[in-house]
Protein backbone atom coordinates (compact mmCIF):
# COMPACT_ATOMS: atom_id res chain seq x y z
CA UNK A 1 0.00 0.00 0.00
CA UNK A 2 0.97 3.61 -0.55
CA UNK A 3 0.27 5.48 2.68
CA UNK A 4 0.27 9.18 3.61
CA UNK A 5 0.72 9.74 7.36
CA UNK A 6 -0.03 13.20 8.78
CA UNK A 7 1.43 14.12 12.15
CA UNK A 8 4.27 11.71 11.40
CA UNK A 9 6.59 13.38 13.93
CA UNK A 10 4.07 12.95 16.75
CA UNK A 11 3.86 10.30 19.45
CA UNK A 12 1.55 7.98 17.51
CA UNK A 13 2.63 9.08 14.02
CA UNK A 14 6.23 7.98 14.52
CA UNK A 15 5.18 4.46 15.50
CA UNK A 16 2.65 4.29 12.65
CA UNK A 17 5.45 5.14 10.20
CA UNK A 18 7.76 2.57 11.79
CA UNK A 19 5.18 -0.26 11.89
CA UNK A 20 3.96 0.33 8.31
CA UNK A 21 7.51 0.60 6.90
CA UNK A 22 8.48 -2.65 8.64
CA UNK A 23 5.48 -4.26 6.94
CA UNK A 24 6.86 -3.19 3.55
CA UNK A 25 4.47 -0.37 2.67
CA UNK A 26 5.51 2.79 0.81
CA UNK A 27 5.06 5.82 3.03
CA UNK A 28 4.93 9.58 2.74
CA UNK A 29 5.37 10.83 6.31
CA UNK A 30 4.30 14.48 6.70
CA UNK A 31 4.46 16.92 9.60
CA UNK A 32 3.66 20.59 10.11
CA UNK A 33 6.91 21.58 8.35
CA UNK A 34 6.13 19.64 5.17
CA UNK A 35 2.33 19.81 5.09
CA UNK A 36 0.12 22.56 6.52
CA UNK A 37 -3.19 20.72 6.83
CA UNK A 38 -5.05 24.03 7.22
CA UNK A 39 -3.99 24.91 3.64
CA UNK A 40 -6.52 23.16 1.38
CA UNK A 41 -4.57 23.63 -1.87
CA UNK A 42 -1.41 22.25 -0.30
CA UNK A 43 -3.28 19.16 0.95
CA UNK A 44 -4.67 18.51 -2.52
CA UNK A 45 -1.29 18.99 -4.18
CA UNK A 46 0.66 16.72 -1.82
CA UNK A 47 -1.92 13.91 -1.94
CA UNK A 48 -2.36 14.11 -5.72
CA UNK A 49 1.40 13.88 -6.23
CA UNK A 50 1.80 10.80 -4.02
CA UNK A 51 -1.43 9.02 -5.03
CA UNK A 52 -1.88 7.07 -1.78
CA UNK A 53 -4.19 4.12 -1.20
CA UNK A 54 -4.76 5.26 2.38
CA UNK A 55 -4.38 8.46 4.38
CA UNK A 56 -3.78 7.98 8.11
CA UNK A 57 -4.58 11.28 9.77
CA UNK A 58 -2.68 11.47 13.07
CA UNK A 59 -2.13 15.24 12.96
CA UNK A 60 -4.18 17.06 15.60
CA UNK A 61 -4.30 19.94 18.02
CA UNK A 62 -3.95 18.03 21.29
CA UNK A 63 -3.15 20.72 23.91
CA UNK A 64 -6.33 20.03 25.89
CA UNK A 65 -6.10 22.92 28.35
CA UNK A 66 -4.68 25.46 25.90
CA UNK A 67 -7.54 24.75 23.50
CA UNK A 68 -9.97 26.35 25.95
CA UNK A 69 -8.41 29.74 25.04
CA UNK A 70 -7.12 28.86 21.57
CA UNK A 71 -10.55 27.90 20.19
CA UNK A 72 -10.05 29.01 16.57
CA UNK A 73 -6.75 27.16 16.20
CA UNK A 74 -8.16 23.96 17.74
CA UNK A 75 -10.98 23.98 15.16
CA UNK A 76 -8.68 25.09 12.32
CA UNK A 77 -6.53 21.99 12.86
CA UNK A 78 -9.01 19.38 14.14
CA UNK A 79 -12.00 20.29 11.97
CA UNK A 80 -10.88 22.32 8.92
CA UNK A 81 -7.57 20.47 8.61
CA UNK A 82 -9.36 17.14 8.77
CA UNK A 83 -11.85 18.26 6.10
CA UNK A 84 -8.96 19.30 3.84
CA UNK A 85 -7.29 15.91 4.15
CA UNK A 86 -10.57 14.02 3.58
CA UNK A 87 -11.29 15.96 0.39
CA UNK A 88 -7.74 15.34 -0.85
CA UNK A 89 -8.11 11.60 -0.11
CA UNK A 90 -11.44 11.52 -1.98
CA UNK A 91 -9.79 13.09 -5.05
CA UNK A 92 -7.50 10.06 -5.41
CA UNK A 93 -10.05 7.51 -4.10
CA UNK A 94 -7.95 6.76 -1.01
CA UNK A 95 -9.30 5.28 2.22
CA UNK A 96 -9.22 7.69 5.16
CA UNK A 97 -8.31 6.81 8.76
CA UNK A 98 -9.00 9.50 11.37
CA UNK A 99 -7.53 9.17 14.85
CA UNK A 100 -10.03 10.46 17.40
CA UNK A 101 -10.42 10.45 21.16
CA UNK A 102 -12.39 9.40 24.23
CA UNK A 103 -12.97 13.14 24.83
CA UNK A 104 -15.92 13.07 22.40
CA UNK A 105 -17.88 11.62 25.35
CA UNK A 106 -18.84 13.46 28.54
CA UNK A 107 -17.43 10.74 30.81
CA UNK A 108 -20.55 10.44 32.98
CA UNK A 109 -21.60 6.93 31.90
CA UNK A 110 -21.60 4.11 34.45
CA UNK A 111 -20.58 1.61 31.77
CA UNK A 112 -17.95 1.62 28.97
CA UNK A 113 -18.87 3.67 25.91
CA UNK A 114 -19.77 1.87 22.68
CA UNK A 115 -19.08 3.26 19.22
CA UNK A 116 -22.69 4.19 18.50
CA UNK A 117 -23.47 5.83 21.84
CA UNK A 118 -24.36 9.52 21.68
CA UNK A 119 -21.36 11.82 21.94
CA UNK A 120 -21.37 14.83 24.25
CA UNK A 121 -17.92 16.46 24.38
CA UNK A 122 -17.37 18.90 27.25
CA UNK A 123 -14.05 20.52 26.26
CA UNK A 124 -13.02 22.56 23.21
CA UNK A 125 -10.56 19.80 22.36
CA UNK A 126 -13.31 17.17 22.50
CA UNK A 127 -15.75 19.34 20.55
CA UNK A 128 -13.20 20.08 17.81
CA UNK A 129 -12.28 16.40 17.49
CA UNK A 130 -15.97 15.50 17.27
CA UNK A 131 -16.34 18.14 14.53
CA UNK A 132 -13.53 16.33 12.69
CA UNK A 133 -15.41 13.04 13.04
CA UNK A 134 -18.57 14.58 11.59
CA UNK A 135 -16.68 15.95 8.59
CA UNK A 136 -15.07 12.55 7.98
CA UNK A 137 -18.46 10.82 8.18
CA UNK A 138 -20.12 13.24 5.77
CA UNK A 139 -17.30 13.71 3.23
CA UNK A 140 -15.41 10.41 3.01
CA UNK A 141 -16.78 7.44 1.08
CA UNK A 142 -14.42 4.93 2.74
CA UNK A 143 -13.40 5.87 6.27
CA UNK A 144 -12.23 4.48 9.58
CA UNK A 145 -12.70 6.60 12.70
CA UNK A 146 -10.49 5.24 15.47
CA UNK A 147 -11.13 6.58 18.98
CA UNK A 148 -8.39 5.88 21.45
CA UNK A 149 -7.44 6.93 24.98
CA UNK A 150 -4.58 7.56 27.40
CA UNK A 151 -1.91 7.13 24.71
CA UNK A 152 1.78 6.73 25.55
CA UNK A 153 4.84 5.64 23.61
CA UNK A 154 8.54 6.13 23.04
CA UNK A 155 8.16 9.50 21.33
CA UNK A 156 6.89 12.74 22.83
CA UNK A 157 5.58 13.57 26.30
CA UNK A 158 3.21 11.25 28.13
CA UNK A 159 2.03 10.15 31.54
CA UNK A 160 4.38 7.16 31.81
CA UNK A 161 7.50 9.23 31.15
CA UNK A 162 6.29 11.98 33.48
CA UNK A 163 5.71 9.49 36.32
CA UNK A 164 9.14 7.92 35.88
CA UNK A 165 10.80 11.35 35.95
CA UNK A 166 8.85 12.55 38.98
CA UNK A 167 9.46 9.23 40.70
CA UNK A 168 13.18 10.05 40.74
CA UNK A 169 12.73 13.71 41.67
CA UNK A 170 10.04 13.74 44.37
CA UNK A 171 9.50 11.91 47.67
CA UNK A 172 5.72 11.81 47.20
CA UNK A 173 3.20 12.18 44.36
CA UNK A 174 -0.53 12.75 44.34
CA UNK A 175 -2.32 11.12 41.41
CA UNK A 176 -6.01 11.38 40.53
CA UNK A 177 -8.00 8.30 41.51
CA UNK A 178 -11.52 9.26 40.32
CA UNK A 179 -10.90 9.22 36.57
CA UNK A 180 -10.71 5.82 34.89
CA UNK A 181 -9.73 4.75 31.40
CA UNK A 182 -7.62 2.38 29.33
CA UNK A 183 -3.93 3.18 28.76
CA UNK A 184 -2.92 2.58 25.13
CA UNK A 185 0.59 1.78 23.88
CA UNK A 186 1.29 3.45 20.54
CA UNK A 187 2.98 0.37 19.05
CA UNK A 188 -0.09 -1.76 19.81
CA UNK A 189 -2.39 0.89 18.32
CA UNK A 190 -0.23 1.25 15.19
CA UNK A 191 -0.16 -2.53 14.75
CA UNK A 192 -3.96 -2.62 14.94
CA UNK A 193 -4.20 0.17 12.34
CA UNK A 194 -2.00 -1.88 10.02
CA UNK A 195 -4.57 -4.69 10.12
CA UNK A 196 -7.62 -2.42 10.01
CA UNK A 197 -6.79 -0.20 7.02
CA UNK A 198 -6.05 -3.21 4.82
CA UNK A 199 -9.75 -4.16 5.08
CA UNK A 200 -13.02 -2.78 3.75
CA UNK A 201 -14.50 -2.88 7.26
CA UNK A 202 -15.23 0.83 7.35
CA UNK A 203 -16.81 2.58 10.32
CA UNK A 204 -16.09 3.79 13.85
CA UNK A 205 -13.85 1.82 16.21
CA UNK A 206 -12.88 2.07 19.86
CA UNK A 207 -9.27 0.97 20.15
CA UNK A 208 -7.28 0.82 23.38
CA UNK A 209 -5.38 -1.79 25.31
CA UNK A 210 -7.85 -4.03 27.16
CA UNK A 211 -8.93 -3.45 30.74
CA UNK A 212 -9.26 -0.31 32.80
CA UNK A 213 -7.63 1.55 35.68
CA UNK A 214 -7.55 4.96 37.33
CA UNK A 215 -4.60 7.31 36.84
CA UNK A 216 -3.51 6.41 40.38
CA UNK A 217 -3.62 2.68 39.60
CA UNK A 218 -1.78 3.35 36.34
CA UNK A 219 0.97 5.19 38.25
CA UNK A 220 1.29 2.34 40.74
CA UNK A 221 1.64 -0.14 37.87
CA UNK A 222 4.27 2.02 36.15
CA UNK A 223 6.48 2.08 39.25
CA UNK A 224 5.95 -1.62 39.99
CA UNK A 225 6.77 -2.77 36.45
CA UNK A 226 9.72 -0.37 36.08
CA UNK A 227 11.17 -1.45 39.43
CA UNK A 228 10.92 -5.10 38.39
CA UNK A 229 12.64 -4.46 35.04
CA UNK A 230 15.50 -2.39 36.44
CA UNK A 231 15.89 -4.51 39.59
CA UNK A 232 15.58 -1.50 41.89
CA UNK A 233 12.54 0.07 43.53
CA UNK A 234 11.42 3.68 43.68
CA UNK A 235 11.37 5.58 46.96
CA UNK A 236 8.48 7.79 45.87
CA UNK A 237 5.20 7.46 47.78
CA UNK A 238 2.16 7.55 45.47
CA UNK A 239 -1.02 8.88 47.05
CA UNK A 240 -4.55 8.99 45.58
CA UNK A 241 -6.35 12.31 45.25
CA UNK A 242 -9.53 13.66 43.65
CA UNK A 243 -10.02 15.62 40.43
CA UNK A 244 -11.22 18.55 42.56
CA UNK A 245 -7.81 18.75 44.19
CA UNK A 246 -6.20 19.30 40.78
CA UNK A 247 -8.43 21.78 38.89
CA UNK A 248 -7.59 22.18 35.19
CA UNK A 249 -8.94 24.63 32.56
CA UNK A 250 -10.52 21.82 30.50
CA UNK A 251 -12.84 19.26 32.08
CA UNK A 252 -11.62 15.65 32.08
CA UNK A 253 -13.99 12.70 31.54
CA UNK A 254 -14.34 10.71 34.77
CA UNK A 255 -15.06 7.58 32.72
CA UNK A 256 -12.99 7.17 29.54
CA UNK A 257 -13.41 3.40 29.27
CA UNK A 258 -14.53 2.35 25.79
CA UNK A 259 -16.13 -0.96 24.80
CA UNK A 260 -14.60 -2.52 21.67
CA UNK A 261 -17.90 -3.50 20.06
CA UNK A 262 -16.74 -2.83 16.48
CA UNK A 263 -13.55 -4.85 16.88
CA UNK A 264 -15.59 -7.85 18.06
CA UNK A 265 -18.40 -7.59 15.50
CA UNK A 266 -15.93 -7.19 12.61
CA UNK A 267 -13.84 -10.18 13.66
CA UNK A 268 -10.63 -8.17 14.18
CA UNK A 269 -7.80 -8.92 16.58
CA UNK A 270 -8.13 -6.89 19.79
CA UNK A 271 -5.21 -5.31 21.63
CA UNK A 272 -3.53 -7.04 24.56
CA UNK A 273 -4.32 -6.06 28.19
CA UNK A 274 -3.01 -2.62 29.17
CA UNK A 275 -0.56 -3.91 31.76
CA UNK A 276 1.10 -6.17 29.16
CA UNK A 277 1.39 -3.20 26.82
CA UNK A 278 2.94 -1.12 29.61
CA UNK A 279 5.43 -3.88 30.39
CA UNK A 280 6.44 -4.10 26.71
CA UNK A 281 6.95 -0.33 26.54
CA UNK A 282 9.10 -0.28 29.69
CA UNK A 283 11.17 -3.18 28.35
CA UNK A 284 11.82 -1.04 25.25
CA UNK A 285 12.84 1.85 27.50
CA UNK A 286 14.85 -0.20 30.01
CA UNK A 287 18.16 1.53 29.22
CA UNK A 288 16.61 4.80 30.39
CA UNK A 289 14.98 3.45 33.56
The torsion angles phi and psi of 27, rounded to 5 degrees, stand at -115, 150
Query: What are the DSSP E strand ranges found in 158-257?
Result: 172-176, 180-181, 184-185, 203-206, 213-214, 237-241
HEC profile for 103-129? HHCCCCCCCCECCCCCCCCCCHHHHHH
Neighbour-count burial for 110-149, b at 16+ CB within 10 Å, e otherwise: eebbebebebebbbbbbbbbbbbbebbeebbeebbbbbbb
* Residue of 98, 103, 113, 125 with catalytic role: 125
Pairing of strands 180-181, 213-214: antiparallel
Measured CA distances, 180 to 21, 212, 230 (Å): 34, 7, 28
The torsion angles phi and psi of 187, rounded to 5 degrees, stand at -65, -40
Annotation says 125 is catalytic: yes
Measured CA distances, 101 to 16, 71, 106, 224 (Å): 17, 17, 12, 28
Of 232, 217, 234, the closest CA to residue 274 belongs to 217
Residue 191 to residue 3: CA distance in whole angstroms:
14
Of 55, 84, 211, the closest CA to residue 146 belongs to 55
Just list the catalytic residues. 125
Amino acid sequence: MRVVVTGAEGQLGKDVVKVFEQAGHELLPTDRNTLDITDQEMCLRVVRQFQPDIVIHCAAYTAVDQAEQDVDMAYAVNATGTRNMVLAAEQVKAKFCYISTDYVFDGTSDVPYQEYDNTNPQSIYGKSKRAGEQLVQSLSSSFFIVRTSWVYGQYGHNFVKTMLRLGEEKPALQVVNDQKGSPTYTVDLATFLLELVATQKFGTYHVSNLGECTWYEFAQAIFAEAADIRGKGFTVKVEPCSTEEFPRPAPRPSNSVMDHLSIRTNGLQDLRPWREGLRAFLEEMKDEL
